Copies of this chain bind each other. A is one copy, B any other.
Amino acid sequence: MSDITRFSVSIESELLDLFDRLITSRGYTNRSEAIRDAIRRQLISREWEDGEEVAGVITLLYDHHRPGLSEELTEIQHHAIPSVISTTHIHLDAQNCLEFIAVRGSGGTIEALADRLKSLRGVKHGELAATSTGKKII
């Protein structure tokens, strides 16, 4: 548990007014929470730049009719333990699958794994969503 502290920000009234309207439209009911979220986003970007242990999700859109593809995806993931935590599979329609692979490790290792999966034939699209393990990001 971390102590809670306070700091104050000086700002032009008009700018604060615009900000309040913006965050309300994005669902915030509390200005401090919107500021903390902006702070956390910057810290998480820095964790990735600095090569610290991070977490993320690799999203793959693929055609499960492609021969051998499901096996190859599974094989690569098994060899990528412990970076790979778990996988969820969604059946989008008769042909298309969406697979989310939860990952954890250094940014470089995770990006290399995502590159390898995205480059397979039959994988139509791949994305890596970067987040944090939350250890430092309180």
- Chain A at the B interface: mostly helix, strand, loop or mixed? mixed
Number of interface residues, chain A, beta carbon within 8 A: 77
A110 CB → nearest B CB, Å: 13
A131 is an interface residue with CB less than 8 A from chain B = yes
Chain B residues with Cβ below 8 Å from A127 are 129-131
**A42–B41 CA distance with the chains assembled, in angstroms:** 12
Docked complex: A82-138 residues within 8 A CB-CB of B: 85-86, 88, 90, 92-93, 95-96, 98, 100, 102, 104, 115-116, 118-121, 124-125, 127-138
A26 is an interface residue with CB less than 8 A from chain B = yes
Partner of A9, one of B13, B16, B31: B31
A42 and B22 contacting across the interface, CB-CB below 8 Å: yes
**Of listed A9, A42, A92, residue having the most chain B CB within 10 A:** A9
Given contacts A95-B134, A134-B95, contact A4 B13 (CB under 8 A): yes
Chain B residues with Cβ below 8 Å from A128 are 129
Given contacts A2-B15, A9-B7, A93-B134, contact A37 B119 (CB under 8 A): yes
The 7 closest A-B pairs by CB, nearest first: A96-B134, A27-B119, A2-B12, A129-B129, A88-B88, A27-B116, A8-B8
